[in-house]
Amino acid sequence: MKSKMQVTGLMDPYDDGHVTEACGLMGIMDTTGRTHSGKDMITGMANMRCRSNGMGGGFAAYGIYPDFVENHCFHVMYLDGGKGRKEAEDYLRRNFKVVYEDEIRTRYNKNVGTGSPLLMRYFLDVGDHNKDRIPDDDYVVKRVMDMNVNLEDAFVFSSGKDMGVFKGIGYPEDLGDFFRLEDYQAYMWVGHGRFPTNTQAWWGGAHPFSILDWTVVHNGELSSYDINRRQLEMYGYFCTMRTDTEVLAYTTDLLMRRTGLPIEVMADIIAAPLWDRIDQMPEKDRRYHEFLRMTYGPLLMNGPFTIIIGHNGEMIGLGDRLRLRPLTAATKGEMVYVASEEAPIRLIQPDLDKAWIPRGGEPVVGRLTKDGRAKIGLPQEKEVATRCRSR
Protein backbone atom coordinates (compact mmCIF):
# COMPACT_ATOMS: atom_id res chain seq x y z
CA MET A 1 0.00 0.00 0.00
CA LYS A 2 1.41 3.40 -0.98
CA SER A 3 1.15 6.15 1.62
CA LYS A 4 -0.36 9.54 0.90
CA MET A 5 2.84 10.90 2.44
CA GLN A 6 4.85 9.22 -0.35
CA VAL A 7 7.66 11.48 -1.58
CA THR A 8 7.16 12.35 -5.24
CA GLY A 9 8.91 14.69 -7.64
CA LEU A 10 11.41 17.47 -7.26
CA MET A 11 13.25 17.72 -3.96
CA ASP A 12 15.22 20.73 -2.72
CA PRO A 13 18.42 20.91 -4.83
CA TYR A 14 20.22 23.00 -2.19
CA ASP A 15 19.29 20.80 0.77
CA ASP A 16 18.14 23.82 2.80
CA GLY A 17 14.55 22.71 3.15
CA HIS A 18 14.48 22.98 6.93
CA VAL A 19 15.38 26.64 7.41
CA THR A 20 12.37 27.34 9.57
CA GLU A 21 12.28 31.14 9.42
CA ALA A 22 11.44 31.21 5.72
CA CYS A 23 8.11 30.68 3.85
CA GLY A 24 6.58 33.36 1.67
CA LEU A 25 2.93 34.31 2.24
CA MET A 26 0.71 36.69 0.33
CA GLY A 27 -2.96 37.61 0.07
CA ILE A 28 -4.68 40.01 -2.32
CA MET A 29 -8.33 41.01 -2.01
CA ASP A 30 -10.57 43.34 -4.01
CA THR A 31 -13.19 44.34 -1.45
CA THR A 32 -15.68 45.35 -4.15
CA GLY A 33 -15.84 41.74 -5.34
CA ARG A 34 -14.37 42.53 -8.75
CA THR A 35 -12.31 39.66 -10.09
CA HIS A 36 -8.74 39.59 -11.37
CA SER A 37 -6.54 36.94 -12.89
CA GLY A 38 -3.78 35.23 -10.95
CA LYS A 39 -0.99 37.19 -12.67
CA ASP A 40 -0.40 39.66 -9.83
CA MET A 41 -0.34 36.90 -7.24
CA ILE A 42 2.20 34.92 -9.24
CA THR A 43 4.33 38.07 -9.65
CA GLY A 44 4.25 38.75 -5.91
CA MET A 45 5.13 35.20 -4.96
CA ALA A 46 7.98 35.11 -7.48
CA ASN A 47 9.42 38.21 -5.77
CA MET A 48 9.77 36.14 -2.58
CA ARG A 49 11.47 33.21 -4.30
CA CYS A 50 14.30 33.31 -1.74
CA ARG A 51 11.71 32.30 0.88
CA SER A 52 10.77 29.19 -1.09
CA ASN A 53 12.77 26.05 -1.68
CA GLY A 54 11.14 24.28 -4.61
CA MET A 55 9.56 21.66 -2.37
CA GLY A 56 6.07 23.13 -2.36
CA GLY A 57 3.80 26.02 -3.19
CA GLY A 58 0.17 26.75 -3.74
CA PHE A 59 -2.72 29.14 -4.09
CA ALA A 60 -6.34 29.58 -3.09
CA ALA A 61 -8.70 31.56 -5.30
CA TYR A 62 -12.18 32.85 -4.44
CA GLY A 63 -15.01 33.64 -6.85
CA ILE A 64 -13.66 31.41 -9.63
CA TYR A 65 -16.71 29.21 -10.23
CA PRO A 66 -19.61 31.63 -10.88
CA ASP A 67 -21.64 28.97 -12.71
CA PHE A 68 -21.58 26.66 -9.66
CA VAL A 69 -21.80 29.04 -6.68
CA GLU A 70 -24.26 26.79 -4.81
CA ASN A 71 -22.19 23.63 -5.20
CA HIS A 72 -19.30 22.39 -3.10
CA CYS A 73 -16.33 21.79 -5.36
CA PHE A 74 -14.03 18.92 -4.40
CA HIS A 75 -10.52 19.10 -5.82
CA VAL A 76 -9.18 15.55 -5.61
CA MET A 77 -5.69 14.15 -6.11
CA TYR A 78 -5.26 10.56 -7.24
CA LEU A 79 -1.78 9.78 -6.06
CA ASP A 80 -1.04 6.46 -7.73
CA GLY A 81 -1.85 7.01 -11.38
CA GLY A 82 -5.58 7.20 -10.80
CA LYS A 83 -5.94 3.64 -9.51
CA GLY A 84 -8.34 4.79 -6.81
CA ARG A 85 -10.48 6.95 -9.06
CA LYS A 86 -13.37 4.51 -9.48
CA GLU A 87 -13.59 3.86 -5.74
CA ALA A 88 -13.59 7.59 -4.97
CA GLU A 89 -16.13 8.44 -7.65
CA ASP A 90 -18.42 5.65 -6.47
CA TYR A 91 -18.17 7.13 -2.97
CA LEU A 92 -19.03 10.61 -4.24
CA ARG A 93 -22.06 9.36 -6.15
CA ARG A 94 -23.34 7.48 -3.11
CA ASN A 95 -23.09 10.56 -0.92
CA PHE A 96 -23.75 13.49 -3.29
CA LYS A 97 -25.35 14.40 -6.56
CA VAL A 98 -22.44 15.03 -8.94
CA VAL A 99 -23.52 18.08 -10.92
CA TYR A 100 -20.40 18.33 -13.09
CA GLU A 101 -16.87 16.94 -13.17
CA ASP A 102 -13.72 17.50 -15.16
CA GLU A 103 -9.96 17.29 -14.96
CA ILE A 104 -8.26 20.38 -13.52
CA ARG A 105 -6.53 22.18 -16.38
CA THR A 106 -2.74 22.14 -16.28
CA ARG A 107 0.16 22.74 -18.64
CA TYR A 108 3.64 21.29 -18.72
CA ASN A 109 6.22 23.14 -16.65
CA LYS A 110 9.69 21.62 -16.45
CA ASN A 111 10.24 22.99 -12.93
CA VAL A 112 7.18 21.38 -11.37
CA GLY A 113 7.73 18.08 -9.58
CA THR A 114 7.65 15.02 -11.78
CA GLY A 115 5.04 12.37 -11.21
CA SER A 116 2.21 14.82 -10.61
CA PRO A 117 -1.02 13.13 -9.50
CA LEU A 118 -4.19 12.98 -11.54
CA LEU A 119 -6.09 16.15 -10.55
CA MET A 120 -9.89 16.12 -10.80
CA ARG A 121 -12.69 18.42 -9.62
CA TYR A 122 -16.28 17.55 -8.81
CA PHE A 123 -19.14 20.00 -8.28
CA LEU A 124 -21.45 18.43 -5.74
CA ASP A 125 -24.94 18.93 -4.34
CA VAL A 126 -25.76 17.50 -0.91
CA GLY A 127 -29.52 17.36 -1.54
CA ASP A 128 -31.34 14.44 0.06
CA HIS A 129 -28.15 12.53 0.81
CA ASN A 130 -27.86 14.22 4.20
CA LYS A 131 -29.95 11.64 6.04
CA ASP A 132 -28.85 12.83 9.48
CA ARG A 133 -30.26 16.31 8.78
CA ILE A 134 -27.14 17.96 10.14
CA PRO A 135 -25.99 21.26 8.62
CA ASP A 136 -24.77 20.67 5.08
CA ASP A 137 -21.33 22.05 5.89
CA ASP A 138 -20.93 19.54 8.73
CA TYR A 139 -22.03 16.78 6.36
CA VAL A 140 -19.38 17.82 3.83
CA VAL A 141 -16.66 17.93 6.51
CA LYS A 142 -17.58 14.36 7.54
CA ARG A 143 -17.37 13.16 3.95
CA VAL A 144 -13.98 14.85 3.40
CA MET A 145 -12.58 13.29 6.57
CA ASP A 146 -13.95 9.88 5.60
CA MET A 147 -12.38 10.01 2.15
CA ASN A 148 -9.00 11.22 3.37
CA VAL A 149 -8.83 8.64 6.16
CA ASN A 150 -10.25 5.58 4.40
CA LEU A 151 -9.62 5.87 0.65
CA GLU A 152 -6.11 4.70 -0.10
CA ASP A 153 -5.38 6.54 -3.35
CA ALA A 154 -7.63 9.65 -3.24
CA PHE A 155 -7.02 12.87 -1.35
CA VAL A 156 -9.51 15.77 -1.17
CA PHE A 157 -7.53 19.00 -0.90
CA SER A 158 -10.28 21.56 -1.53
CA SER A 159 -14.00 21.38 -0.70
CA GLY A 160 -15.52 24.88 -0.62
CA LYS A 161 -18.08 26.74 -2.70
CA ASP A 162 -17.03 29.10 -5.51
CA MET A 163 -13.35 28.69 -4.63
CA GLY A 164 -10.50 26.30 -5.14
CA VAL A 165 -7.03 25.33 -3.93
CA PHE A 166 -4.19 24.66 -6.39
CA LYS A 167 -0.96 23.28 -4.92
CA GLY A 168 1.91 20.88 -5.44
CA ILE A 169 5.67 20.37 -5.57
CA GLY A 170 7.67 23.25 -7.02
CA TYR A 171 8.17 26.98 -6.64
CA PRO A 172 4.88 28.90 -6.43
CA GLU A 173 5.43 30.85 -9.66
CA ASP A 174 6.02 27.59 -11.53
CA LEU A 175 2.93 26.03 -9.99
CA GLY A 176 0.94 29.11 -10.96
CA ASP A 177 2.01 28.48 -14.55
CA PHE A 178 1.36 24.74 -14.22
CA PHE A 179 -2.21 25.34 -13.02
CA ARG A 180 -2.80 28.12 -15.62
CA LEU A 181 -3.92 30.56 -12.95
CA GLU A 182 -3.95 33.41 -15.45
CA ASP A 183 -7.11 31.77 -16.85
CA TYR A 184 -9.01 32.15 -13.55
CA GLN A 185 -10.77 35.28 -12.31
CA ALA A 186 -10.96 35.72 -8.52
CA TYR A 187 -11.72 38.59 -6.13
CA MET A 188 -9.28 37.14 -3.59
CA TRP A 189 -6.01 35.25 -3.95
CA VAL A 190 -3.91 33.66 -1.22
CA GLY A 191 -0.49 32.15 -1.87
CA HIS A 192 2.35 30.26 -0.18
CA GLY A 193 5.88 29.26 -1.05
CA ARG A 194 7.87 26.54 0.73
CA PHE A 195 6.83 23.30 2.40
CA PRO A 196 5.75 21.88 5.78
CA THR A 197 8.90 21.96 7.87
CA ASN A 198 8.64 18.57 9.55
CA THR A 199 6.97 16.37 6.94
CA GLN A 200 7.97 14.81 3.65
CA ALA A 201 7.46 16.55 0.32
CA TRP A 202 4.30 15.36 -1.40
CA TRP A 203 1.64 17.11 -3.45
CA GLY A 204 -1.09 17.06 -0.82
CA GLY A 205 1.19 18.38 1.91
CA ALA A 206 1.82 21.76 0.28
CA HIS A 207 -0.02 24.88 1.47
CA PRO A 208 -2.78 26.09 1.48
CA PHE A 209 -4.52 23.68 3.83
CA SER A 210 -8.26 23.82 3.49
CA ILE A 211 -11.63 22.61 4.72
CA LEU A 212 -14.86 23.90 3.18
CA ASP A 213 -14.05 27.44 2.03
CA TRP A 214 -11.51 28.04 4.83
CA THR A 215 -7.90 28.11 3.65
CA VAL A 216 -4.75 28.74 5.67
CA VAL A 217 -1.18 29.47 4.61
CA HIS A 218 1.41 29.49 7.37
CA ASN A 219 4.96 30.57 8.09
CA GLY A 220 6.29 29.11 11.33
CA GLU A 221 6.25 26.00 13.44
CA LEU A 222 3.82 24.96 16.18
CA SER A 223 5.13 23.06 19.18
CA SER A 224 1.53 22.58 20.35
CA TYR A 225 0.59 20.34 17.41
CA ASP A 226 -0.16 17.20 19.42
CA ILE A 227 -2.51 18.82 21.93
CA ASN A 228 -4.18 20.81 19.15
CA ARG A 229 -4.67 17.64 17.10
CA ARG A 230 -6.14 15.66 20.01
CA GLN A 231 -8.61 18.45 20.75
CA LEU A 232 -9.72 18.64 17.12
CA GLU A 233 -10.23 14.88 16.93
CA MET A 234 -12.86 15.23 19.67
CA TYR A 235 -14.88 17.27 17.15
CA GLY A 236 -14.44 14.93 14.18
CA TYR A 237 -11.40 16.48 12.49
CA PHE A 238 -8.66 14.02 11.55
CA CYS A 239 -5.20 15.34 10.75
CA THR A 240 -4.21 12.91 8.02
CA MET A 241 -1.36 15.10 6.76
CA ARG A 242 0.52 15.16 10.09
CA THR A 243 1.55 18.80 9.80
CA ASP A 244 0.93 21.77 12.06
CA THR A 245 -0.75 23.95 9.42
CA GLU A 246 -3.54 21.40 9.11
CA VAL A 247 -4.56 22.02 12.72
CA LEU A 248 -4.75 25.75 11.99
CA ALA A 249 -7.22 25.18 9.15
CA TYR A 250 -9.46 22.89 11.21
CA THR A 251 -9.25 25.14 14.27
CA THR A 252 -10.41 28.08 12.18
CA ASP A 253 -13.42 26.12 10.95
CA LEU A 254 -14.26 24.89 14.45
CA LEU A 255 -14.02 28.28 16.17
CA MET A 256 -15.42 30.59 13.51
CA ARG A 257 -17.97 28.50 11.62
CA ARG A 258 -19.14 25.88 14.11
CA THR A 259 -18.77 27.90 17.30
CA GLY A 260 -19.61 31.24 15.68
CA LEU A 261 -16.81 33.28 17.26
CA PRO A 262 -15.66 36.50 15.56
CA ILE A 263 -12.11 36.77 14.29
CA GLU A 264 -11.01 39.00 17.18
CA VAL A 265 -11.99 36.33 19.70
CA MET A 266 -10.48 33.55 17.61
CA ALA A 267 -7.22 35.53 17.55
CA ASP A 268 -7.33 35.87 21.34
CA ILE A 269 -7.62 32.07 21.57
CA ILE A 270 -4.90 30.91 19.18
CA ALA A 271 -2.54 33.85 19.85
CA ALA A 272 -3.41 34.36 23.52
CA PRO A 273 -1.43 36.91 25.57
CA LEU A 274 1.12 35.59 28.04
CA TRP A 275 -0.17 34.95 31.56
CA ASP A 276 1.94 37.70 33.11
CA ARG A 277 0.35 40.19 30.73
CA ILE A 278 -3.14 38.88 31.50
CA ASP A 279 -2.47 39.30 35.22
CA GLN A 280 -1.78 43.01 34.67
CA MET A 281 -4.98 43.71 32.72
CA PRO A 282 -8.06 45.52 34.07
CA GLU A 283 -10.45 43.08 35.74
CA LYS A 284 -12.94 42.90 32.84
CA ASP A 285 -10.26 42.11 30.27
CA ARG A 286 -8.48 39.75 32.65
CA ARG A 287 -11.67 37.75 33.24
CA TYR A 288 -12.29 37.61 29.48
CA HIS A 289 -8.84 36.18 28.72
CA GLU A 290 -8.99 33.79 31.67
CA PHE A 291 -12.32 32.49 30.37
CA LEU A 292 -10.86 31.90 26.89
CA ARG A 293 -7.77 30.15 28.26
CA MET A 294 -9.85 27.85 30.49
CA THR A 295 -12.40 27.06 27.77
CA TYR A 296 -10.23 26.86 24.67
CA GLY A 297 -6.74 26.27 26.11
CA PRO A 298 -5.97 23.19 23.95
CA LEU A 299 -6.41 25.35 20.82
CA LEU A 300 -3.73 27.86 21.81
CA MET A 301 -1.09 27.76 19.07
CA ASN A 302 2.25 27.70 20.86
CA GLY A 303 5.25 28.66 18.78
CA PRO A 304 6.12 31.16 16.05
CA PHE A 305 3.57 31.66 13.30
CA THR A 306 2.15 34.05 10.78
CA ILE A 307 -0.96 32.95 8.91
CA ILE A 308 -3.25 34.26 6.20
CA ILE A 309 -6.79 32.89 6.36
CA GLY A 310 -9.18 33.08 3.45
CA HIS A 311 -12.85 32.29 3.24
CA ASN A 312 -15.75 33.59 1.18
CA GLY A 313 -16.00 37.34 1.66
CA GLU A 314 -13.08 37.78 4.06
CA MET A 315 -9.28 37.67 4.27
CA ILE A 316 -7.42 37.64 7.60
CA GLY A 317 -3.75 38.15 8.42
CA LEU A 318 -2.53 37.21 11.90
CA GLY A 319 0.80 36.71 13.65
CA ASP A 320 1.73 35.11 16.96
CA ARG A 321 1.67 37.15 20.16
CA LEU A 322 5.43 37.90 20.03
CA ARG A 323 5.53 38.60 16.27
CA LEU A 324 8.21 35.98 15.65
CA ARG A 325 7.32 35.74 11.97
CA PRO A 326 6.90 38.76 9.67
CA LEU A 327 3.68 40.23 8.30
CA THR A 328 3.03 43.45 6.38
CA ALA A 329 -0.40 44.86 5.52
CA ALA A 330 -1.32 47.53 2.98
CA THR A 331 -4.26 49.15 1.18
CA LYS A 332 -4.78 50.95 -2.10
CA GLY A 333 -8.33 52.15 -2.74
CA GLU A 334 -10.53 49.07 -2.64
CA MET A 335 -7.57 46.66 -2.53
CA VAL A 336 -6.21 44.97 0.61
CA TYR A 337 -2.80 43.27 0.68
CA VAL A 338 -1.02 41.15 3.28
CA ALA A 339 2.37 39.52 2.77
CA SER A 340 5.54 38.37 4.47
CA GLU A 341 7.33 41.42 3.05
CA GLU A 342 6.41 44.86 1.71
CA ALA A 343 8.47 44.34 -1.46
CA PRO A 344 6.02 42.05 -3.34
CA ILE A 345 3.14 44.40 -2.51
CA ARG A 346 5.08 47.42 -3.81
CA LEU A 347 6.03 45.48 -6.93
CA ILE A 348 2.34 44.98 -7.74
CA GLN A 349 1.13 48.37 -6.47
CA PRO A 350 3.92 50.97 -5.99
CA ASP A 351 1.56 53.79 -4.93
CA LEU A 352 -0.05 52.47 -1.75
CA ASP A 353 -2.44 54.48 0.42
CA LYS A 354 -1.09 52.86 3.58
CA ALA A 355 1.35 50.15 4.63
CA TRP A 356 2.06 48.98 8.17
CA ILE A 357 3.32 46.12 10.30
CA PRO A 358 0.56 44.70 12.54
CA ARG A 359 1.32 44.01 16.18
CA GLY A 360 1.61 40.42 17.37
CA GLY A 361 -1.76 38.76 17.94
CA GLU A 362 -3.53 41.62 16.15
CA PRO A 363 -5.67 40.48 13.18
CA VAL A 364 -5.89 42.43 9.94
CA VAL A 365 -9.24 41.73 8.29
CA GLY A 366 -10.33 42.66 4.77
CA ARG A 367 -14.03 42.20 3.95
CA LEU A 368 -16.24 42.53 0.91
CA THR A 369 -18.16 45.81 0.97
CA LYS A 370 -20.94 47.47 -0.99
CA ASP A 371 -19.51 51.00 -1.09
CA GLY A 372 -16.44 50.15 -3.14
CA ARG A 373 -13.92 51.12 -0.47
CA ALA A 374 -11.55 48.78 1.30
CA LYS A 375 -12.80 47.85 4.75
CA ILE A 376 -10.17 46.83 7.28
CA GLY A 377 -11.25 45.24 10.53
CA LEU A 378 -9.92 47.18 13.51
CA PRO A 379 -7.90 45.09 15.97
CA GLN A 380 -9.43 44.14 19.29
CA GLU A 381 -12.84 45.70 18.59
CA LYS A 382 -14.46 45.29 21.98
CA GLU A 383 -18.01 45.30 20.67
CA VAL A 384 -17.52 42.07 18.72
CA ALA A 385 -16.25 40.30 21.82
CA THR A 386 -19.00 41.49 24.17
CA ARG A 387 -20.69 38.14 24.56
CA CYS A 388 -17.45 36.48 25.65
CA ARG A 389 -16.27 39.33 27.88
CA SER A 390 -19.57 39.44 29.73
CA ARG A 391 -19.40 35.80 30.89
CA distance 33 to 35: 6
Annotated active-site residue in 23, 73, 239, 388: 23
CB 112 within 8 A of CB 10: yes
**Residue of 303, 159, 286 whose CA lies nearest to 228:** 303
Specify the 3-state DSSP secondary structure of 39. helix
Query: The dihedral of CA 53, 54, 55, 57: what is its sign?
Result: positive
| Beta-ladder partners of 62 | 163, 188
CB 206: neighbour CB atoms within 10 A? 31
Residues contacting residue 84 through CB under 8 Å, at least 6 positions apart: 78, 151, 152, 153, 154
* Cα diameter, the chain: 60
> Between vectors from CA 114 to CA 222 and to CA 82, what angle results, nearest 5°?
90
> Between vectors from CA 245 to CA 326 and to CA 183, what angle results, nearest 5°?
85
> Between vectors from CA 139 to CA 133 and to CA 144, what angle results, nearest 5°?
165
Residues contacting residue 128 through CB under 8 Å, at least 6 positions apart: none
Active site residue 50: no
Q: What length is written for the chain?
A: 391
CA distance 263 to 62: 19
CA distance 345 to 26: 9
Catalytic positions: 23
